[in-house]
């Protein structure tokens, strides 16, 4: 039986438990969401729905300290980072509200016969969101808000360890003006997810999570011919090709590896450094990782005992294969895992193609752009990438050859509330955020007029 509960990963203390949804509640939720779509979703004006979103963003900002404390308890995110997540979520919601009219405007088409033709973006219906624990507010904001503004209705199945944050999101959305039946938070089981996807009133499903979960949900969506967006794992490369400021490159790489205690799908996991910079970079990077402090909030506990056990086993296996753990001891205290750096990794090692979901970096030395590209592409994932290179044309040429969905050049800090997000390969498909995210679950309806 699935269990929704808050267990503080720092202490292991089980704080609160929540009852799982019954089959009757699942059936009621689907019917209610469908009824809300055919009524509220089709009859309200875009400006009204966008206004509700603006109010939701205000409530996120007003309650940010309370909201930050909730996810700090649920999954161990350091408080400063928790507050930042709430603030970024509010920015995302505001951006969708402010840009909705522009992004959803009719798009005229130039056609050979000269007849008036345009594309009108309209909602599809009920959309299921299966959301992860690592960014409890951000993930829901970027999925749910564009759908609600569009006129879709949303059923949320959040991670089992995030029952408080999912409940408070629902409270905020309802207080902001979205009807209770337009956004429904369900503590559903995996079997009940299958029931929801199969229901003909449900038109799509968005999942952010593991490869395993993505393959199951993707197969179910395909079986029932449902629209699907999958944002899965990542082992993003950070390429240092040529720079006059190695200190900046180190600062960026450290920040991206320790962000959310290394538990970000698009966090830097493999750092690939050109030979001319490698010694200086490696010395400064390993020193900075060694100095990272749990007490100062540079990182927090891993999210669960299972996450800690998995990372520990992966690092242990890497060392057995011949990699060297030059920083860290691979000996967690509870779920507090000391950040580490692995070197000496070769392509035949299992760790070379794995995602390390925690504060352990892989460090590679290369002697050419081609070698850097080969290592960067040598994983089954293809989410994001970062290239540090003073020659932007060279960086762009390298970026063109990377098998990924996003390339950030010159800095790691290039995410934005209106910038699309998503990957290729086993990192999934589809896009969230920005205009592309608003169109993920839309009917792009073609209008044609006789002359």
> Hey, which residues are catalytic here?
231, 265
The Cα 366–Cα 233 span in angstroms is 25
Contact 120, 150 (CB under 8 A): no
**Structure-block tokens of residue 382:** 């293809």
Least Cα distance to 124 among 196, 200, 31, 184 occurs for 200
Beta strands 386-389 and 381-382: pairing type? unpaired
Contact 285, 341 (CB under 8 A): yes
Where are the alpha helices (H) located in 224-364, listed in sequence order? 246-258, 275-291, 305-321
Contact 193, 185 (CB under 8 A): no
Quote the Cα angle for 36-439-193, to 5°: 55
DSSP-assigned beta bridge partners for residue 425: 381
Distance of CA 423 to the CA centre of its chain: 11
């Amino acid at each position: 039986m699935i269990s929704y509960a808050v267990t503080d990963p720092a202490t292991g203390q089980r704080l609160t438990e929540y009852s799982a949804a019954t089959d009757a509640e699942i059936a009621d939720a689907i019917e209610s969401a469908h009824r809300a779509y055919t009524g509220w979703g089709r009859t309200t004006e875009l400006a009204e729905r966008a206004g509700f979103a603006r109010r939701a963003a205000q409530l996120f900002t007003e309650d940010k300290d309370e909201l930050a404390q909730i996810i700090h308890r649920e999954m161990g995110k350091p408080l400063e980072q928790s507050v930042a997540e709430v603030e970024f979520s509010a920015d995302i919601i505001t951006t969708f509200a402010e840009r909705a009219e522009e992004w959803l405007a009719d798009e005229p088409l130039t056609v050979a016969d000269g007849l008036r033709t345009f594309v009108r973006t309209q909602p599809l219906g009920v959309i299921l969101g299966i959301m992860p624990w690592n960014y409890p507010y951000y993930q829901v904001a970027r999925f749910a808000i564009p759908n609600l503004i569009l006129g879709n209705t949303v059923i949320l199945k959040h991670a089992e360890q995030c029952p408080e944050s999912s409940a408070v999101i629902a409270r905020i959305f309802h207080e902001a003006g979205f009807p209770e039946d337009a956004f429904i938070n369900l503590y559903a089981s995996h079997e009940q997810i299958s029931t929801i996807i199969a229901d003909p009133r449900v038109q799509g499903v968005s999942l952010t999570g593991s490869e395993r979960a993505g393959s199951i949900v993707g197969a179910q969506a395909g079986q029932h011919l449902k629209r699907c967006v999958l944002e899965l794992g990542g082992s993003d490369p950070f390429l240092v090709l040529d720079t006059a400021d190695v200190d900046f490159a180190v600062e960026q790489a450290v920040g991206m590896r320790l962000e959310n205690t290394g538990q970000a799908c698009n966090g830097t996991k493999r750092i690939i450094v050109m030979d001319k910079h490698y010694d200086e970079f490696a010395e400064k990077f390993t020193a900075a990782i060694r100095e990272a402090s749990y007490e100062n909030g540079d990182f927090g506990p891993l999210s669960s005992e299972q996450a800690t056990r998995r990372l520990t086993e992966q690092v242990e296996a890497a060392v057995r294969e011949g990699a060297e753990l030059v920083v860290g001891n691979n000996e967690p205290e509870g779920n507090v895992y000391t950040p580490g750096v692995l070197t000496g990794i070769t392509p035949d090692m299992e760790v070379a193609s794995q995602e390390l979901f925690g504060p352990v970096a892989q460090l590679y030395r290369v002697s050419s752009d081609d070698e850097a590209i080969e290592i960067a592409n040598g994983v089954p994932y293809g989410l994001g990438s970062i290239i540090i290179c003073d020659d932007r044309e060279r960086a762009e040429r390298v970026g063109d050859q990377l098998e990924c969905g996003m390339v950030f050049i010159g800095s790691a800090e290039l995410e934005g509330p209106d910038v699309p997000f998503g990957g290729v390969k086993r990192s999934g498909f589809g896009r969230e955020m920005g205009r592309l995210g608003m169109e993920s679950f839309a009917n792009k309806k073609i209008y044609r007029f006789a002359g």
